[in-house]
Amino acid sequence: MKESFVSIQDLTLTHQHKSVLKDLNWTINTGEQYVLFGESGSGKTSLAKIISGQLCAIGELKVNFDNNSHLPAEVLFVESWYQFKNLEGVANFYYQQRYTSQQAKDTLTVHAELVSYGKEKGLHLDQVEPILEALNFASFASSQLIELSSGEHKKIAIG
């Protein structure tokens, strides 16, 4: 029998007096992969936010992390829209928004974003280069974030 990675039992979420998720039961076993799809407003994002701890619901949710891993036991939620920060750390525009060449120069590079994330999370990013290489991003290290495609932003966020 496979070991469950995520176990959800009787999960219920109500938002503005509307039932979004009702008595959801779902087990994701280690090594399994799923695609979650549905109509707008059906609870896909809400479920992802519940699993990542950004949203609370009624029911039981258990994530079984690998106790032998050196990585933090943390579930991350990757947003659909990336909000860019300028060099001063002010988040003021989004991907595919019109921007000037000066704004592009004022946004963080891929390398600077990873270093900033590491500091925020208390991680030692002396291994930024291997991360960039694993994502086939080594050539993008000095690129401004705003110049990347939305798919490339997802790759960074997942990394």
pLDDT in tens, 27-77: 999 888 888 888 888 889 899 999 999 999 999 999 999 888 877 788 878
Q: Give the tokens for residue 49.
A: 């936010």
Dig out the tokens for 4 from the structure. Answer: 């469950």
Domain boundaries 4-63, corresponding CATH code: 3.40.50.300
Other Cβ atoms less than 10 A from the Cβ of 153: the count is 21
Ramachandran quadrant class, 142 (left: phi over 0; alpha: psi -120 to 50; beta: rest): alpha
Provide the angle, in degrees to the nearest 10, between the axes of the packed helices 150-158 and 110-121.
30
Decide: 99 and 90 in contact? Cβ < 8 Å.
no
Mean pLDDT in residue range 122-151:
73
> What's the rounded Cα separation, in Å, for the pair 103 and 36?
36
Domain ranges of the chain: 4-63, 83-158
Q: How far from chain centre, in Å, is Cα 142?
A: 22
Over residues 100-133, the pLDDT tens digits come to 555 556 667 777 777 777 777 777 667 666 777 7
With 90 as the cut, is the pLDDT of residue 7 above it? yes
pTM for the full predicted model: 0.61
